[in-house]
Structure 1
Amino acid sequence: MFKRLPGDEARNLVTTTPDTAVVFRPAVIQTPAILTLIIFAWRLLAGLIRLLWRHPVAMLATLTPVVLTLLYGWQTALLLTAPAPAGLAAWALTHWTSFVRLIGWRLLAWWRLVWVYRRHWQPVMIVSGLGRHLWGRDYLPRLGKVTCTPWADLVAVRMLKGQSVKDWADRLDHLAQGFGSASCRVALSRGGRLTLTFPRHDPLAERIPALPVPDSPTAGPVEIGKQEDGRPWLLKVHGTHVLVAGATGAGKGSIIWSAIRGLLPAVRAGLVEIWALDPKLMELSYGRALFGDRYAATPEDCADLLDQAVSVMQKRAARFAGIQRSHTPTVDDPFVLVVVDEVAFLTAYQSDRELRRRISAALATLTTQGRAVGVGVLAALQDPRKEVMNIRNLFPDKIALRLDESEQVDMVLGDGARDRGALADHISPVPGLGAGVGYVRLEASPDPIRVRATYVSDTDIRAMADAFAAGEDV
């Protein structure tokens, strides 16, 4: 047992354990007052320099009136500084867009940095476990620059030595609640540095109507919606395969029909062929006229159509061997997009074992060999489990709409996607609010992107089909 003695008696602390010669005499060093003052002054000076370096405009705007008042009096200071705010106000009233882009977002970023993030940084870091309090000193990740966009705050952070991205990904909810945001996402910017994204509002809250059919034919990326940052969502279908997973009513049909709508001019020009497999007889049957004889509904017809796609792929591969390694859509060799509405019905729930084997083998062949010769697969399903869809890893690009369980997010988008902010299980199930909202993980990027597809109504689909069958512009 040890005695706990207050004050200077700590230097005389000794063990009370019998039969021991060990004596504990902690060294007590008295710090000179002058040294304490020098350290305090140095920290104050370094803080002022850092403040001037990080916020030169804000400091200049604050200090200029003070300096002018001290040198020339408040009348002269008011006369010299009044034109600046008046000019800024006139600029904001006459051309708000440029004012916000050049001044407004910077002012908001400075305010959010001072009032929200720097003010609460220490308690949030300590309580969430991302900071450490050792020997009377706080060791905190370093807060960097804050950048404001129209919808979110981007916060640069320098991690503590020894921390990993997963340490932050496991505490996203702590960070979101600590800084008053609905959610938080983390992305590794470079070694030891992160970018935290805190949305201020949801730009994808409202339903997006169907986009006009493009004027020019293209098999390249087609616009099917909007990203969270306001940019168009371009879905790549040529040269890849896309898997869409989502619960009932999550909006899988929005993605399928938006992609078909964007490809219609290329279909009319003969550069693209859409082969449709519709085992539920519900989704793709609305636009059956768009597919011609490349439409299958029964399991037997679906298996035959997939076998035809494999045959086309193999014949092209034989012709392209030693001549070209990539495909460019032409009238003779159009891009073939195989659209499967509910792929799990064909690969897992099909009672006929032979048909199930044929369909699974054809899909595996297309997804492993098809994209180099211009044959792509766009498949949709509700249940992403491995036993339901055992070839999901053969789809380079994946889209997760609303899912029922948190574990399903990583099943669709890959390990760690939910930790990086892909909260597909939190998307609203209310009809109209969350339909078409999802997260995309592309082959070239591990970071999920939040998106929303346009809503193509039954009326839009029938109008497309009727105009296409009549040879008219949609």
Structure 2
Amino acid sequence: MTRTTTTTTNVPEFADVIMDLLGRALIGIVVAAFHLARWAVLFPMVSVPAGLSVAAGWFYGWAFGIVVAVLTVAGMVLWRVLSPQTFERWLTGRIRSRFLAWFRYRRVWVKMITACGLATRDGDRVFIPRLISVHIGESLDIVRARMLAGHCPDSWTNRADHFAHGFGAQQAKVGLIGPGLVEITFRRCDSLAEPIIVDFGSRTDSTVSPLRKAA
């Protein structure tokens, strides 16, 4: 008796592949549009002039739109020259803080928390402590996170060195600031390490040694 074995290979059809690619592209476009709208709301001092330039070019011609864009850039430069403090506070400082918050912490949060052993598993599901907020400072960054069920303060405080190494900081300090709420303070640099510059040419006679005065 001869037994015949038939092997069936399911090859995805070309139309299915195209539909899958289109679906992924559509999801990417929606996500990109969401982030663009979010950044436009966060930074109206940039998005509003840019929108006015596009609208001027659309309704009155590209030349008029270019003129509006040039005037906008000139106004931004004038703002930077006349009031660098407010320019830093409302524009470059906010952009820098949000970028560093994403680059230093949000981008690698899941990976680092898992490597530190603070993720928990329930069957096929993996639970990650939620990142509540990130504050970027000159020398200190403050990160707040929500502990998972089953965690205790020691679960976090004992991993301070792991946090410092994993997130690229000089030092990390962990504290409990509320029920299930943890605050991690990262020292990125030494604020007292700036050199003190002494202008020797502006010293007064009081800095001269008494022996030289007597001479």
TM-score (normalizing by structure 2): 0.58
Whether 1:56 aligns to 2:56 is no
Deviates more, 1:58-67 or 1:194-203: 58-67
Whether 1:146 aligns to 2:134 is yes
CA separation of 1:206/1:161 partners in 2, compared to 1, >3 Å: closer, same or farther?
same
Q: Give the C-alpha shift of residue 120 in structure 1.
A: 0.7
What 5-or-longer segments of structure 1 have no aligned partner? 1-36, 209-474
**Aligned match of 2:110:** 122
Whether 1:162 aligns to 2:150 is yes
Cα distance in 1 for residues equivalent to 2:176 and 2:76: 37
2:40–2:47 Cα contact (<8 Å) kept: no
**Aligned match of 1:367:** none
Q: Give the C-alpha shift of residue 69 in structure 1.
A: 4.3
CA separation of 1:169/1:65 partners in 2, compared to 1, >3 Å: closer, same or farther?
same
Q: Give the C-alpha shift of residue 206 in structure 1.
A: 5.5
Aligned 1:169-180 pairs, distance under 5 A: 169-180=157-168
What 5-or-longer segments of structure 2 have no aligned partner? 1-22, 197-215
1:151–1:200 Cα contact (<8 Å) kept: yes
User: Which digits, 9 at most, give the CA deviation of each residue in 1:59-93, with x for residues without a partner?
Assistant: 88469847974882894655445555543443333
Query: Which amino acid is the alignment partner of residue 84 of structure 2?
Result: W
CA separation of 1:186/1:137 partners in 2, compared to 1, >3 Å: closer, same or farther?
same
**Aligned match of 1:132:** 120
**Aligned match of 1:110:** 98
**Aligned match of 1:195:** 183
CA root-mean-square deviation: 3.9
**Aligned match of 2:80:** 92
CA separation of 1:69/1:90 partners in 2, compared to 1, >3 Å: closer, same or farther?
closer
Give percent identity, aligned residues only.
Answer: 26
Q: Give the C-alpha shift of residue 179 in structure 1.
A: 1.6
User: Which digits, 9 at most, give the CA deviation of each residue in 1:424-468, with x for residues without a partner?
Assistant: xxxxxxxxxxxxxxxxxxxxxxxxxxxxxxxxxxxxxxxxxxxxx
CA separation of 1:66/1:113 partners in 2, compared to 1, >3 Å: closer, same or farther?
farther
Query: Which amino acid is the alignment partner of residue 57 of structure 1?
Result: L
1:184–1:197 Cα contact (<8 Å) kept: yes
Cα distance in 2 for residues equivalent to 1:157 and 1:138: 17
> Of 72, 78, 95, which residue of structure 1 is paired with 2:58?
72
CA separation of 1:130/1:148 partners in 2, compared to 1, >3 Å: closer, same or farther?
same
1:106–1:148 Cα contact (<8 Å) kept: no
* 3-state SS of paired residue (2:101): helix
User: Which digits, 9 at most, give the CA deviation of each residue in 1:24-83, with x for residues without a partner?
Assistant: xxxxxxxxxxxxx9xxx8xx78xx49x83x983148846984797488289465544555
**Aligned match of 2:17:** none
Q: Give the C-alpha shift of residue 129 in structure 1.
A: 1.1
Cα distance in 2 for residues equivalent to 1:63 and 1:144: 29
CA separation of 1:207/1:159 partners in 2, compared to 1, >3 Å: closer, same or farther?
same
2:133–2:144 Cα contact (<8 Å) kept: yes
CA separation of 1:68/1:144 partners in 2, compared to 1, >3 Å: closer, same or farther?
farther
Larger Rg: 1
* 3-state SS of paired residue (1:184): strand
Cα distance in 2 for residues equivalent to 1:139 and 1:160: 8
Cα distance in 2 for residues equivalent to 1:55 and 1:162: 40
> Of 169, 187, 199, which residue of structure 2 is paired with 1:181?
169
TM-score (normalizing by structure 1): 0.29
User: Which digits, 9 at most, give the CA deviation of each residue in 1:317-376, with x for residues without a partner?
Assistant: xxxxxxxxxxxxxxxxxxxxxxxxxxxxxxxxxxxxxxxxxxxxxxxxxxxxxxxxxxxx
CA separation of 1:205/1:56 partners in 2, compared to 1, >3 Å: closer, same or farther?
same
CA separation of 1:59/1:99 partners in 2, compared to 1, >3 Å: closer, same or farther?
closer
User: Which digits, 9 at most, give the CA deviation of each residue in 1:81-127, with x for residues without a partner?
Assistant: 55555434433333333433444432221001222211111110111
CA separation of 1:122/1:62 partners in 2, compared to 1, >3 Å: closer, same or farther?
farther
Cα distance in 2 for residues equivalent to 1:90 and 1:60: 14
1:106–1:147 Cα contact (<8 Å) kept: no
Cα distance in 1 for residues equivalent to 2:52 and 2:118: 41
Query: Which amino acid is the alignment partner of residue 126 of structure 2?
Result: D
Cα distance in 1 for residues equivalent to 2:49 and 2:89: 24
Cα distance in 2 for residues equivalent to 1:207 and 1:69: 48
Cα distance in 2 for residues equivalent to 1:109 and 1:85: 22
1:156–1:195 Cα contact (<8 Å) kept: yes
